[in-house]
Amino acid sequence: MKKLLWTLAIVLAVFVIALIGGSFYMLDYSLAPDPNRMDTDSCYRQQFEAYPESKAWVDSLRAIGALRDTFLTMPSGERHHAFFVDRGSTRTALVIHGWRDCAVEFFWLARIYEHELGYNVVMPELHACGESEGGAIQMGWKDRLDALHWLKTFQKDTMVVHGVSMGAATTMMLSGEEMPAGIRDLRFVEDCGYTSVWDEFACQLKEQFGLPAFPLMYSTSLLCKLRYGWSFGEASALEQVKKCRYPMLFIHGSTDTFVPSQMVHPLYEAKPGAKALWIADDAEHALSYREHKAEYISRITDFVNCLILPRKSDIQRALN
Protein backbone atom coordinates (compact mmCIF):
# COMPACT_ATOMS: atom_id res chain seq x y z
CA MET A 1 0.00 0.00 0.00
CA LYS A 2 2.81 2.39 0.92
CA LYS A 3 4.50 1.71 -2.42
CA LEU A 4 1.25 2.39 -4.26
CA LEU A 5 0.77 5.70 -2.46
CA TRP A 6 4.32 6.73 -3.34
CA THR A 7 3.69 5.81 -6.96
CA LEU A 8 0.48 7.81 -7.04
CA ALA A 9 2.22 10.78 -5.40
CA ILE A 10 5.00 10.68 -7.98
CA VAL A 11 2.51 10.44 -10.86
CA LEU A 12 0.53 13.34 -9.44
CA ALA A 13 3.66 15.44 -8.97
CA VAL A 14 4.77 14.75 -12.55
CA PHE A 15 1.28 15.67 -13.80
CA VAL A 16 1.25 18.95 -11.83
CA ILE A 17 4.75 19.88 -13.00
CA ALA A 18 3.83 19.07 -16.61
CA LEU A 19 0.61 21.09 -16.31
CA ILE A 20 2.41 24.12 -14.90
CA GLY A 21 5.12 23.88 -17.56
CA GLY A 22 2.51 23.45 -20.28
CA SER A 23 0.58 26.47 -19.01
CA PHE A 24 3.64 28.70 -19.14
CA TYR A 25 4.47 27.41 -22.62
CA MET A 26 0.94 27.92 -23.93
CA LEU A 27 0.68 31.42 -22.49
CA ASP A 28 4.02 32.49 -23.93
CA TYR A 29 3.24 30.80 -27.26
CA SER A 30 -0.06 32.68 -27.50
CA LEU A 31 0.81 36.10 -26.10
CA ALA A 32 4.51 36.62 -26.85
CA PRO A 33 5.06 39.58 -29.19
CA ASP A 34 6.58 39.08 -32.62
CA PRO A 35 10.37 39.21 -32.01
CA ASN A 36 10.72 41.09 -35.32
CA ARG A 37 7.94 43.56 -34.61
CA MET A 38 10.20 46.56 -35.19
CA ASP A 39 11.27 45.34 -38.64
CA THR A 40 9.02 47.72 -40.57
CA ASP A 41 11.03 47.29 -43.80
CA SER A 42 9.95 43.66 -43.94
CA CYS A 43 6.35 44.65 -43.23
CA TYR A 44 6.39 47.16 -46.08
CA ARG A 45 7.83 44.57 -48.50
CA GLN A 46 5.20 41.99 -47.59
CA GLN A 47 2.40 44.54 -47.81
CA PHE A 48 3.41 45.83 -51.22
CA GLU A 49 3.92 42.32 -52.61
CA ALA A 50 0.50 41.12 -51.44
CA TYR A 51 -1.36 44.36 -52.18
CA PRO A 52 0.42 46.35 -54.92
CA GLU A 53 -2.25 49.05 -54.80
CA SER A 54 -0.98 49.97 -51.33
CA LYS A 55 2.42 51.07 -52.68
CA ALA A 56 1.07 53.77 -54.99
CA TRP A 57 -1.17 54.97 -52.18
CA VAL A 58 1.65 55.15 -49.63
CA ASP A 59 3.95 56.84 -52.15
CA SER A 60 1.32 59.50 -52.85
CA LEU A 61 0.86 60.17 -49.12
CA ARG A 62 4.58 60.40 -48.50
CA ALA A 63 4.97 62.84 -51.40
CA ILE A 64 2.74 65.34 -49.62
CA GLY A 65 3.78 64.45 -46.06
CA ALA A 66 0.34 63.06 -45.23
CA LEU A 67 1.36 59.72 -43.66
CA ARG A 68 2.27 60.70 -40.13
CA ASP A 69 3.58 58.88 -37.09
CA THR A 70 1.83 59.74 -33.86
CA PHE A 71 2.24 58.53 -30.29
CA LEU A 72 -0.16 58.49 -27.34
CA THR A 73 0.40 57.66 -23.71
CA MET A 74 -2.20 55.13 -22.64
CA PRO A 75 -3.88 55.23 -19.21
CA SER A 76 -1.46 52.42 -18.24
CA GLY A 77 1.44 54.82 -18.85
CA GLU A 78 2.73 52.94 -21.89
CA ARG A 79 3.51 54.77 -25.11
CA HIS A 80 1.61 53.52 -28.16
CA HIS A 81 2.18 54.26 -31.82
CA ALA A 82 -0.17 54.85 -34.74
CA PHE A 83 -0.08 56.05 -38.32
CA PHE A 84 -2.43 58.91 -39.10
CA VAL A 85 -3.70 60.21 -42.43
CA ASP A 86 -5.50 63.54 -42.12
CA ARG A 87 -7.70 64.57 -45.05
CA GLY A 88 -9.31 67.36 -43.08
CA SER A 89 -12.54 65.37 -43.16
CA THR A 90 -15.34 65.25 -40.58
CA ARG A 91 -15.18 61.45 -40.90
CA THR A 92 -12.49 59.24 -39.36
CA ALA A 93 -11.88 55.50 -39.55
CA LEU A 94 -10.02 53.56 -36.88
CA VAL A 95 -8.31 50.57 -38.57
CA ILE A 96 -7.15 47.81 -36.19
CA HIS A 97 -4.64 45.10 -37.12
CA GLY A 98 -4.50 41.42 -36.20
CA TRP A 99 -2.50 39.07 -33.95
CA ARG A 100 1.25 39.76 -33.85
CA ASP A 101 0.81 42.17 -36.76
CA CYS A 102 1.60 45.84 -37.18
CA ALA A 103 -0.31 48.72 -38.77
CA VAL A 104 1.73 48.57 -41.98
CA GLU A 105 0.29 45.14 -42.77
CA PHE A 106 -3.19 46.69 -42.97
CA PHE A 107 -2.46 49.65 -45.23
CA TRP A 108 -4.69 47.91 -47.78
CA LEU A 109 -7.62 48.51 -45.47
CA ALA A 110 -6.62 52.06 -44.56
CA ARG A 111 -6.39 52.84 -48.28
CA ILE A 112 -10.04 51.89 -48.77
CA TYR A 113 -11.21 54.38 -46.18
CA GLU A 114 -8.90 57.22 -47.23
CA HIS A 115 -8.71 56.75 -51.02
CA GLU A 116 -12.13 55.28 -51.78
CA LEU A 117 -14.29 56.86 -49.08
CA GLY A 118 -12.56 60.11 -48.12
CA TYR A 119 -12.02 59.39 -44.42
CA ASN A 120 -9.22 60.44 -42.15
CA VAL A 121 -7.58 57.22 -40.97
CA VAL A 122 -5.99 56.28 -37.64
CA MET A 123 -4.01 53.01 -37.64
CA PRO A 124 -3.04 52.22 -34.03
CA GLU A 125 -0.57 49.50 -33.16
CA LEU A 126 -1.93 47.51 -30.26
CA HIS A 127 -0.15 46.74 -27.00
CA ALA A 128 3.16 44.92 -27.64
CA CYS A 129 2.75 45.22 -31.41
CA GLY A 130 4.79 47.26 -33.86
CA GLU A 131 6.26 50.32 -32.18
CA SER A 132 3.82 50.26 -29.25
CA GLU A 133 5.19 49.39 -25.85
CA GLY A 134 4.11 46.33 -23.88
CA GLY A 135 5.37 42.92 -22.90
CA ALA A 136 2.51 40.64 -23.96
CA ILE A 137 -0.29 40.60 -26.52
CA GLN A 138 -3.73 41.21 -24.98
CA MET A 139 -5.91 39.46 -27.61
CA GLY A 140 -8.20 42.49 -27.87
CA TRP A 141 -9.48 42.49 -24.31
CA LYS A 142 -7.49 45.25 -22.65
CA ASP A 143 -6.83 46.58 -26.15
CA ARG A 144 -10.48 47.64 -26.32
CA LEU A 145 -9.71 50.35 -23.75
CA ASP A 146 -6.64 51.50 -25.67
CA ALA A 147 -8.76 51.63 -28.84
CA LEU A 148 -11.32 53.73 -26.97
CA HIS A 149 -8.51 56.13 -26.02
CA TRP A 150 -7.54 56.49 -29.70
CA LEU A 151 -11.21 56.96 -30.62
CA LYS A 152 -11.64 59.78 -28.11
CA THR A 153 -8.39 61.45 -29.15
CA PHE A 154 -9.33 61.53 -32.84
CA GLN A 155 -13.07 61.93 -32.34
CA LYS A 156 -15.05 63.27 -35.28
CA ASP A 157 -18.70 63.69 -36.21
CA THR A 158 -18.75 60.41 -38.16
CA MET A 159 -16.58 57.42 -37.26
CA VAL A 160 -16.02 53.80 -38.27
CA VAL A 161 -14.02 51.20 -36.34
CA HIS A 162 -12.86 48.37 -38.61
CA GLY A 163 -10.72 45.49 -37.36
CA VAL A 164 -9.46 42.23 -38.83
CA SER A 165 -8.85 38.97 -36.89
CA MET A 166 -7.65 39.96 -33.40
CA GLY A 167 -8.41 43.52 -34.51
CA ALA A 168 -11.97 42.39 -35.23
CA ALA A 169 -12.23 40.92 -31.72
CA THR A 170 -10.89 44.24 -30.39
CA THR A 171 -13.53 46.06 -32.43
CA MET A 172 -16.36 43.93 -31.04
CA MET A 173 -15.03 44.15 -27.49
CA LEU A 174 -14.84 47.93 -27.86
CA SER A 175 -18.38 48.11 -29.24
CA GLY A 176 -19.89 47.13 -25.89
CA GLU A 177 -18.27 50.01 -24.02
CA GLU A 178 -19.79 53.43 -23.37
CA MET A 179 -18.90 55.61 -26.33
CA PRO A 180 -17.99 59.31 -26.06
CA ALA A 181 -20.78 61.82 -26.57
CA GLY A 182 -20.77 63.93 -29.71
CA ILE A 183 -20.25 61.26 -32.36
CA ARG A 184 -23.30 61.59 -34.59
CA ASP A 185 -22.72 58.43 -36.60
CA LEU A 186 -20.61 55.53 -35.27
CA ARG A 187 -20.34 52.13 -36.95
CA PHE A 188 -18.32 48.97 -36.49
CA VAL A 189 -16.96 46.47 -39.00
CA GLU A 190 -15.49 43.18 -37.82
CA ASP A 191 -13.69 40.89 -40.26
CA CYS A 192 -13.11 37.30 -39.06
CA GLY A 193 -13.10 37.94 -35.31
CA TYR A 194 -13.48 35.22 -32.67
CA THR A 195 -16.31 34.80 -30.18
CA SER A 196 -13.94 34.80 -27.19
CA VAL A 197 -10.29 34.23 -26.39
CA TRP A 198 -11.29 31.01 -24.65
CA ASP A 199 -13.05 29.68 -27.77
CA GLU A 200 -10.18 30.66 -30.08
CA PHE A 201 -7.44 29.18 -27.89
CA ALA A 202 -9.43 26.00 -27.27
CA CYS A 203 -9.90 25.65 -31.02
CA GLN A 204 -6.18 26.11 -31.71
CA LEU A 205 -5.21 23.80 -28.84
CA LYS A 206 -7.20 21.03 -30.49
CA GLU A 207 -6.19 21.94 -34.06
CA GLN A 208 -2.44 22.32 -33.50
CA PHE A 209 -1.74 20.00 -30.57
CA GLY A 210 -4.70 17.58 -30.54
CA LEU A 211 -5.46 18.41 -26.90
CA PRO A 212 -8.81 18.97 -25.17
CA ALA A 213 -9.60 22.14 -23.26
CA PHE A 214 -9.33 20.41 -19.86
CA PRO A 215 -7.11 20.84 -17.97
CA LEU A 216 -4.60 23.02 -19.86
CA MET A 217 -6.99 25.81 -20.87
CA TYR A 218 -8.13 26.22 -17.27
CA SER A 219 -4.64 26.37 -15.80
CA THR A 220 -3.35 28.69 -18.54
CA SER A 221 -6.30 31.04 -18.16
CA LEU A 222 -5.63 31.19 -14.41
CA LEU A 223 -1.96 31.92 -15.10
CA CYS A 224 -2.97 34.71 -17.48
CA LYS A 225 -5.17 36.20 -14.77
CA LEU A 226 -2.31 36.11 -12.28
CA ARG A 227 0.29 37.54 -14.67
CA TYR A 228 -1.72 39.99 -16.78
CA GLY A 229 -4.96 40.62 -14.91
CA TRP A 230 -7.44 39.01 -17.31
CA SER A 231 -8.73 35.54 -18.04
CA PHE A 232 -9.62 33.85 -21.31
CA GLY A 233 -13.29 33.53 -20.38
CA GLU A 234 -13.87 37.18 -19.54
CA ALA A 235 -12.30 38.28 -22.86
CA SER A 236 -15.54 37.73 -24.75
CA ALA A 237 -16.51 39.51 -27.95
CA LEU A 238 -19.82 37.64 -27.78
CA GLU A 239 -20.80 39.24 -24.49
CA GLN A 240 -19.67 42.67 -25.66
CA VAL A 241 -21.67 42.70 -28.91
CA LYS A 242 -24.80 41.98 -26.88
CA LYS A 243 -24.38 45.49 -25.45
CA CYS A 244 -23.57 47.24 -28.73
CA ARG A 245 -26.09 49.93 -29.72
CA TYR A 246 -24.45 50.85 -33.03
CA PRO A 247 -24.63 49.35 -36.53
CA MET A 248 -22.20 46.52 -37.19
CA LEU A 249 -21.11 44.69 -40.33
CA PHE A 250 -19.87 41.11 -39.83
CA ILE A 251 -17.48 39.66 -42.45
CA HIS A 252 -16.04 36.15 -42.49
CA GLY A 253 -14.39 33.93 -45.08
CA SER A 254 -16.30 30.74 -45.78
CA THR A 255 -13.14 28.58 -45.64
CA ASP A 256 -11.55 30.19 -42.59
CA THR A 257 -10.19 27.53 -40.25
CA PHE A 258 -7.89 29.67 -38.07
CA VAL A 259 -10.93 31.50 -36.70
CA PRO A 260 -13.58 29.02 -37.83
CA SER A 261 -16.21 30.64 -40.00
CA GLN A 262 -19.04 29.23 -37.86
CA MET A 263 -18.00 31.61 -35.06
CA VAL A 264 -19.56 34.53 -36.90
CA HIS A 265 -23.12 33.20 -36.58
CA PRO A 266 -23.53 33.38 -32.78
CA LEU A 267 -21.86 36.81 -32.90
CA TYR A 268 -24.32 38.03 -35.52
CA GLU A 269 -27.30 36.61 -33.65
CA ALA A 270 -26.17 38.16 -30.35
CA LYS A 271 -25.88 41.66 -31.81
CA PRO A 272 -29.11 43.67 -31.29
CA GLY A 273 -30.31 46.36 -33.66
CA ALA A 274 -28.83 47.30 -37.03
CA LYS A 275 -26.46 44.69 -38.44
CA ALA A 276 -25.40 42.93 -41.60
CA LEU A 277 -23.54 39.72 -42.44
CA TRP A 278 -21.38 38.82 -45.43
CA ILE A 279 -19.80 35.38 -45.83
CA ALA A 280 -17.06 35.74 -48.46
CA ASP A 281 -16.97 32.63 -50.66
CA ASP A 282 -13.78 30.58 -50.68
CA ALA A 283 -11.86 33.07 -48.54
CA GLU A 284 -9.46 31.83 -45.88
CA HIS A 285 -8.56 33.70 -42.72
CA ALA A 286 -8.28 37.48 -43.18
CA LEU A 287 -8.31 37.11 -46.97
CA SER A 288 -11.84 38.22 -47.83
CA TYR A 289 -10.53 41.45 -49.35
CA ARG A 290 -7.75 39.79 -51.34
CA GLU A 291 -10.17 37.24 -52.80
CA HIS A 292 -13.03 39.68 -53.44
CA LYS A 293 -11.56 43.18 -53.70
CA ALA A 294 -14.37 44.91 -55.59
CA GLU A 295 -17.11 43.34 -53.48
CA TYR A 296 -15.27 44.06 -50.22
CA ILE A 297 -15.07 47.75 -51.09
CA SER A 298 -18.67 47.76 -52.25
CA ARG A 299 -19.93 46.14 -49.05
CA ILE A 300 -18.10 48.63 -46.87
CA THR A 301 -19.18 51.58 -49.00
CA ASP A 302 -22.84 50.58 -48.81
CA PHE A 303 -22.58 50.00 -45.07
CA VAL A 304 -21.01 53.33 -44.15
CA ASN A 305 -23.16 55.34 -46.57
CA CYS A 306 -26.53 53.94 -45.48
CA LEU A 307 -27.70 57.04 -43.60
CA ILE A 308 -30.76 55.80 -41.69
CA LEU A 309 -30.68 52.41 -40.02
CA PRO A 310 -33.87 52.02 -37.96
CA ARG A 311 -34.20 48.28 -38.60
CA LYS A 312 -31.72 45.55 -39.42
CA SER A 313 -33.76 44.70 -42.53
CA ASP A 314 -32.90 48.10 -44.02
CA ILE A 315 -29.19 47.51 -43.94
CA GLN A 316 -29.57 43.90 -45.03
CA ARG A 317 -31.45 45.07 -48.13
CA ALA A 318 -28.73 47.63 -48.82
CA LEU A 319 -26.04 44.95 -48.75
CA ASN A 320 -27.78 42.16 -50.65
Instruction: Centre a 10 Å sphere on the Cβ of residue 12 and count the other Cβ atoms it contains.
Output: 10
pLDDT above 50 for 313 = no
Mean pLDDT across the stretch 108-114? 98
pLDDT at site 209: 93
Mean pLDDT across the stretch 282-300? 98
pTM: 0.93
Confidence of residue 317 (pLDDT cuts 50, 70, 90): very low
| Angle (deg, nearest 10), helices 312-319 and 293-305 | 150
pLDDT at site 19: 85
pLDDT at site 98: 98
Averaged pLDDT score across all residues of the chain: 93
pLDDT tens-digit series, residues 18-68: 789 999 999 999 999 999 999 999 999 999 999 999 999 999 999 999 999
CA 127: distance to chain centroid? 12
Q: What is the 3-state secondary structure (H, E, C) of the chain?
A: CHHHHHHHHHHHHHHHHHHHHHHHHHHHHHHCCCCCCCCHHHHHHHHHHHCHHHHHHHHHHHHCCCEEEEEEECCCCCEEEEEEECCCCCEEEEEECCCCCCHHHHHHHHHHHHHHCCCEEEEECCCCCCCCCCCCCCCCCCHHHHHHHHHHHCCCCEEEEEEECHHHHHHHHHHCCCCCCCCCEEEEEEECCCCEHHHHHHHHHHHHHCCCCCCHHHHHHHHHHHHHCCCCCCCEHHHHHCCCCCCEEEEEECCCCCCCHHHHHHHHHHCCCCEEEEEECCCCCCCHHHHCHHHHHHHHHHHHHCCCCCCHHHHHHHHC
pLDDT above 80 for 4 = no
Confidence of residue 13 (pLDDT cuts 50, 70, 90): low
pLDDT tens-digit series, residues 215-272: 999 999 999 999 999 999 999 999 999 999 999 999 999 999 999 999 999 999 999 9
